[in-house]
């Protein structure tokens, strides 16, 4: 059953965002996230994370279901390294183009992968790099919620990091 759900998610993503023009329109017309969330909530949590890490350790965040990187680039203000993960090539191309054209985003990168297997992506593609925060910004509904949370907890186990779930009007 899980495999069928994963296949459906991939198909929906390709239909909705598969062509570059669709992805561009999505990036241009999608509402942005409330700045107060990042300036107040994120900065507060980042301070707590910084207090726990070893001196000189870089703070890393993952943005799952990053799409064209709208939230990824907002998150980048608060972390030393940010990695956006998405399954859709057209969305990732939009995000990568923005990152490459702006020197302030040199610490932002993107990885193609199905976030439903984020633990495997972290283990195989990211070499178990310490992660201090995982964001799902208007993307949590795309995933098997219990499973994705369990995988995120495993990734954050060593750093005792945070999971952020963000919608347009709420965050958890």
| Domain boundaries, given as residue ranges, for the chain | 2-166
Q: Of 151, 132, 155, whose CA–CA distance to 143 is shortest?
A: 151
Q: Tell me the fold of 2-166.
A: Rossmann fold (3.40.50)
The pTM for the full model equals 0.82
Residue 137 has pLDDT above 80, yes or no: yes
**pLDDT number for residue 10:** 47
Q: pLDDT of 48-107, one tens digit each?
A: 888 888 888 899 999 999 999 999 999 999 999 999 999 988 889 989 999 999 999 999
- The C-alpha atoms of residue 109 and residue 86 are separated, in whole angstroms, by 11
């Amino acid at each position: 059953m899980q495999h069928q759900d994963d296949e459906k998610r991939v198909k929906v993503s390709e239909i909705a965002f598969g062509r570059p023009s669709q992805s561009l329109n999505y990036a241009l017309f999608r509402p942005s996230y409330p700045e107060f969330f990042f300036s107040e909530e994120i900065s507060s949590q980042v301070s707590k994370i910084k207090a726990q890490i070893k001196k000189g350790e870089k703070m890393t965040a993952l943005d799952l279901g990053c799409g064209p990187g709208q939230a990824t680039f907002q998150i980048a203000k608060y972390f030393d390294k940010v990695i956006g993960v998405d399954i859709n090539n057209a969305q990732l191309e939009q995000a990568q183009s923005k990152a490459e054209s702006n020197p302030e985003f040199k610490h932002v990168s993107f990885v193609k992968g199905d976030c439903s297997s984020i633990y495997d992506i972290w283990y195989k593609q990211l070499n178990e790099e310490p992660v201090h925060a995982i964001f799902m910004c208007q993307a949590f509904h795309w995933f098997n919620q219990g499973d994705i949370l369990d995988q995120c907890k495993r990734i954050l186990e060593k750093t005792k990091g945070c999971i952020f779930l963000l919608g347009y009007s709420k965050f958890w």
